[in-house]
């Protein structure tokens, strides 16, 4: 029997299942996002970020004492070595924060004696080290590049509130801290997106978790992935006022461009995370006395959807980046920190995937990722090229 010839799919693996996972389910048609069996709406309403980290890493919600112990462990790991601060001070202040984060994250290994040692307990220690340390690195770099003194972590604050404190040298009010905590919950995991796939691919080689997470950060730094909400904020600033929305939409549609934040590779409904973020963006704008960005977003969403429907006879839906941009901006977070904030949340999901890739019991021998490719080079016709020495080329 002839060998079965599979079709080549130049689709970025969209629609192709490459592995099984117990971590997350994204049901695009139904607009459902599920972490370890729990709907994102229930988690955002009832759980904090530390609780979500525990769920993703340990496959269940923690008991009270377990959560207290886990939160304490993260707090202890926030205190990164002084030589990392010293290294940050040697970097050019104009460097992109995502590039800095990718460079510096592996330095967290120096406080981890478990590197190279097998066992899921060691991997979990490393995961906690990354979750805690990446947040401190992000805040420290923002302070250093702005010629401000580094603010050390405050053990009285949870993960979200502490990050805002380290950024601003001011404890956030309870409402702002809760909104930020929810946003970290919403960004913690999203199945096999580009950066998660990167982390798992690296982990499949049996590289250590710091290598996998650093690679994932590199993937997230791309404008089409973690940089999407940066482009949303740039778009809102370009529009500038509600009165200019119609002209902007007409310009975009006539040039076959994109309205950033509308449309998603998976969801065929509004992203459930966007639905949760929208009212927080509205309220945060009121707190910060910056209502414009939410007002622009809401009107742009309404008119953009209607214009797309009229022109292309097709619905378009709001994704997570559409309202996270105005929310973070109203919180006073610098636009180029949006992607690092995404990373310091998503590292919990990345770490869970790395651990699953390397220690999952469902598949006794997880496979090294090695996709094929169709060679389309036709440099010398149907035959191989004949090597010519340099003098005769």
Tokens 């955002």 appear where? 44
Confidence (pLDDT) at 365: 55
Distance CA 56, CA 372 (A): 31
In this structure, what token pair is assigned to residue 212? Answer: 């996998």
Distance CA 50, CA 163 (A): 13
In this structure, what token pair is assigned to residue 316? Answer: 């378009």
Confidence (pLDDT) at 366: 57
The CATH code of the domain at 40-222+338-359 is 1.10.580.10
Confidence (pLDDT) at 14: 74
Q: What is the DSSP string of 171-196?
A: PPPHHHHHHHHHHHHHHS--SS-HHH
- Catalytic sites, residue numbers: 264, 321
Confidence (pLDDT) at 43: 98
Q: What is the pLDDT along the chain (393 residues), one digit of tens a residue?
A: 445 555 556 667 777 778 889 999 999 999 999 999 999 999 999 999 999 999 999 999 999 999 999 999 999 999 999 999 999 999 999 999 999 999 999 999 999 998 878 889 999 999 999 999 999 999 999 999 999 999 999 999 999 999 999 999 999 999 999 999 999 999 999 999 999 999 999 999 999 999 999 999 999 998 888 888 999 999 999 999 999 999 999 999 889 888 999 988 889 999 999 999 999 999 999 999 999 999 999 999 999 999 988 887 788 999 999 999 999 999 999 999 999 999 999 999 999 999 999 987 544 555 788 888 888 888 999 889 999 999 999
* Phi, psi for residue 211 in degrees, rounded to 5: -65, -40
* Domain with residues 228-329, CATH architecture: Orthogonal Bundle (1.10)
Count Cβ neighbours within 10 Å for each residue of 338-371 and write b for 16 or more, e otherwise: bbbbbbbbbbbbbbbbbbbbbebeeeeebeeeee
- CA dihedral 360→345→342→184, nearest 10 degrees, is 130
Helix runs in 146-260, H state only: 159-168, 174-187, 194-203, 209-220, 228-239, 245-254
**Cβ–Cβ < 8 Å for 236, 244:** no
Confidence (pLDDT) at 1: 41
Residues in the chain: 393
Calculate what percentage of the chain has a pLDDT beyond 70. Answer: 96
Domain assignments of the chain as residue spans, ordered by start: 40-222+338-359, 228-329
User: Each residue of 137-152: pLDDT tens digit?
Assistant: 999 999 999 999 999 9
């Amino acid at each position: 029997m002839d060998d079965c010839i599979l079709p080549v799919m130049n689709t970025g693996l969209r629609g192709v299942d490459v592995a099984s996972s117990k971590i997350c389910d994204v049901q695009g048609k139904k607009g459902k996002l599920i972490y370890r069996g729990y709907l994102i709406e229930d988690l955002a309403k009832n759980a904090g970020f530390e609780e979500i980290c525990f769920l993703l890493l340990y496959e269940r919600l923690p008991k009270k004492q377990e959560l207290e112990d886990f939160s304490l462990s993260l707090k202890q790991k926030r205190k990164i070595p002084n030589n990392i601060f010293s290294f940050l001070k040697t970097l050019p202040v104009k460097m992109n924060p995502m590039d800095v984060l990718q460079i510096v994250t592996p330095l967290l290994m120096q406080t981890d004696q478990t590197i190279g040692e097998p066992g899921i307990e060691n991997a979990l220690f490393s995961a906690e080290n990354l979750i805690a340390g990446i947040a401190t690195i992000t805040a420290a770099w923002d302070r250093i590049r702005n010629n401000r003194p580094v603010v050390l972590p405050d053990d009285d604050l949870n993960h979200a509130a502490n990050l805002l404190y380290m950024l601003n040298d001011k404890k956030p009010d309870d409402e702002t801290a809760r909104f930020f905590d929810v946003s970290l919950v919403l960004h913690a995991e999203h199945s096999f997106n580009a950066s998660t796939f990167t982390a798992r691919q690296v982990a499949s080689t049996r590289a250590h978790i710091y290598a996998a997470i650093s690679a994932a950060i590199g993937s997230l730094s791309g404008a089409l992935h973690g940089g999407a909400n940066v482009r949303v904020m740039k778009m809102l600033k370009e529009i500038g006022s509600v009165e200019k929305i119609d002209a902007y939409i007409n310009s975009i549609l006539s040039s076959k461009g994109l309205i950033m934040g509308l449309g998603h590779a998976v969801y065929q409904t509004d992203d459930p995370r966007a639905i949760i973020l929208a009212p927080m963006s509205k309220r945060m704008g009121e707190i910060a006395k910056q209502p414009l960005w939410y007002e622009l977003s809401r009107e742009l969403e309404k008119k953009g959807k209607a214009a797309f429907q009229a022109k292309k006879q097709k619905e378009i839906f709001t994704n997570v980046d559409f309202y996270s941009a105005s929310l973070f901006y109203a919180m006073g977070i610098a636009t180029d920190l949006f992607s690092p904030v995404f990373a310091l949340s998503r590292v919990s999901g990345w770490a869970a995937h790395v651990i699953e890739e390397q220690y999952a019991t469902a598949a006794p021998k997880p496979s090294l990722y090695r996709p094929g490719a169709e060679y389309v080079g036709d440099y010398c016709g149907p035959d191989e090229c004949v090597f010519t020495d340099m003098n005769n080329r």
